Chains A and B, each alone.
Chain A
């Protein structure tokens, strides 16, 4: 069977500088300057990051020689840091922008979900928006009509289909938008982060729907920072770094490769720009881990440690809490905030400290996410994979072995045995993940 997606030697160049500054006046100014042999007043405004490939040039390659094939029915997860080229790849695949060089061959209809609810109009009813959005995504009216009941039922909005969506709550809106997307009749689906919408129960439902879609034998390309979702959905993983594919293979090795490529704690962050509504207002420069006063990248699990988040607010942010998330193998273990109610964050540099107790983490690799969340209004900014660190193996204490989980939890546990016909209590007490009585609990 021929591949569903065949990407050959794909390159995409973006220009810096005059990008988006096209006014006739500027072009005339530049022309006049050239005529007189002066410097172009509009030349090379360096935006964002400097060109990665050749410094000093006015362009950079967002994709550099990307080739891969996807077989029909494969569910491929694409992971990479912000700015690595994932979004550009998806944009080129979904024909939103053209490649600079190379070619993509697609067998079957491709529907791309770079966001949900594209083209929703607030004055139209739910029903009208379902049809319009479906048509924008490439469905005919007949196809939408066939799926209509399923879409509405999936969103759970049977009673509100004839209400203008401007009266919907944001949750209802997102549910309806995702429901349309989830019922696209395309052979190839390209999905970008759309699972990151709605409340937790709807996210589970959405993930379930994605799993069902994948199970129908359709080809799915899935981009996500939710490594847990990639792990559970995808049959293959592609890691993108600096516009090129740095790893292609099975999902678990791909995720390991990706996590290994993250900045280690203490180093400057590779991507300081977070996602979210506050992205332009706050940035993060470094995440460090300190143990007994010294910065480390390997943490001794038997001693407490401190995580330090360094960043900068461009303008004051009211009621802000700096947030720290701890991830293991793509799953979020927990989140912490430096204040529960939120405290005003003045403009300028800031540093937040999170003190962790000893015997919290088991040996393994952990990824830290950092962000800012506002208590009021819920605005946020977030870097999902800011930095990674190791918790070192401690063979002298069996409690701290790698294969027994990520967290140490101390609970009271005991066992009753019926050796002589009646249950008697033995003094078996263990930590979570432990069942061997003789190990007992060796800490208070």
Chain B
């Protein structure tokens, strides 16, 4: 039996219903996949242009001009690993932050657990990530053939966990923003800018090992910092991260996610009255 009551209380979450709608998550991911390819000639190649151009720009600006070190890793691999990892998170966050506004039409006509949408976005953002990661792997292989000393070992098995955490953080931040932007539309304009700032506060264009000690707390409060560093350790074998940072990162990620789910579940009940 279903009981429909006024939106009261903050912990009326109905997460069990998400499971009943798992087929919808699958079909929405599939829709995104098909829709992204239907109109493009190059198809998945588009996903490669972004990290390639970003890497080229980073190499030029931060390596050649600013002379930032790259932990002894060839600069282009260092920046590409960083931007591929950051790219997945940023993509999730940006796309999810408009959940309510871009789906207002569907949300106004049919009820289904609204969290289906952010989850499916985080999953479908994996396509771009996987293709970009494949390019990174090819470059790593070429580097290894040229005699580079790159560890590409069993630590890679931990990579899915890092990606999962990035996805969860992307969902968490995205649903917090999407919930807030139903009331304050103009916050949307800040999202792109905020993501940029956050990237520079994260060791993407510089290694964590070069952060001065008095700024080290940044690494503890920014869960993306240990994730990007872990990503580079696992893929390139270079980076610095402590167990404490990882633990703090996981804790903050889960906290943001939980807060996001509570906020989102609250907003989804009244959202249709404000558009």
B89 to chain A, nearest CB (A): 25
A382 to B254, CA, bound (A): 52
A180 to chain B, nearest CB (A): 12
If A15-B273, A98-B6, A123-B39 are given as contacts, then 13 extra A-B residue pairs at C-beta distance below 8 Å, sorted by A number, are A22-B274, A96-B272, A97-B270, A98-B269, A98-B270, A100-B6, A103-B3, A105-B1, A107-B1, A135-B21, A136-B24, A136-B112, A138-B112
Closest A residue, CB atoms, query B23: A141
Residues A114 and B110 in contact, CB atoms below 8 Å apart? yes
Q: Binding site of B, secondary structure by majority: helix, strand, loop or mixed?
A: helix
**Which 8 A-B pairs give the minimum distances between C-beta atoms?**
A95-B111, A123-B38, A98-B269, A104-B4, A135-B24, A98-B7, A106-B2, A97-B272
A105 to B3, CA, bound (A): 5
**Contacts A/B (CB < 8 Å), 13 sampled:** A20-B275, A22-B183, A22-B274, A94-B111, A98-B5, A99-B4, A99-B6, A103-B3, A105-B3, A112-B111, A119-B106, A132-B31, A138-B112
Residues B109 and A22 in contact, CB atoms below 8 Å apart? no
Among residues 21 to 53 in chain A, which have CB atoms less than 8 Å away from a CB atom of chain B?
Answer: 22-25, 27
Closest B residue, CB atoms, query A116: B109
Given contacts A20-B274, A114-B110, contact A101 B35 (CB under 8 A): no
B244-275: contact bitstring with A at CB < 8 Å (1 yes, 0 no)?
00000000000000000000000001101111
Tell me which residues across on chain B come within 8 A of A141, comparing CB atoms: 23, 26-27
A96 to B109, CA, bound (A): 7
Residues B35 and A124 in contact, CB atoms below 8 Å apart? yes
Which A positions have Cβ atoms within 8 angstroms of B? 14-15, 19-20, 22-25, 27, 91-107, 110, 112, 114-115, 118-119, 121, 123-124, 128, 131-132, 135-138, 140-141, 164
Closest A residue, CB atoms, query B36: A123
Tell me which residues across on chain A come within 8 A of B138, comparing CB atoms: none
Residue B64 lies at the interface, judged by CB distance under 8 Å to chain A: no
Closest A residue, CB atoms, query B181: A22
Closest A residue, CB atoms, query B25: A135
B218-229: contact bitstring with A at CB < 8 Å (1 yes, 0 no)?
000000000000
Tell me which residues across on chain A come within 8 A of B1, comparing CB atoms: 105-107
Residues B4 and A23 in contact, CB atoms below 8 Å apart? no
A15 to B112, CA, bound (A): 25
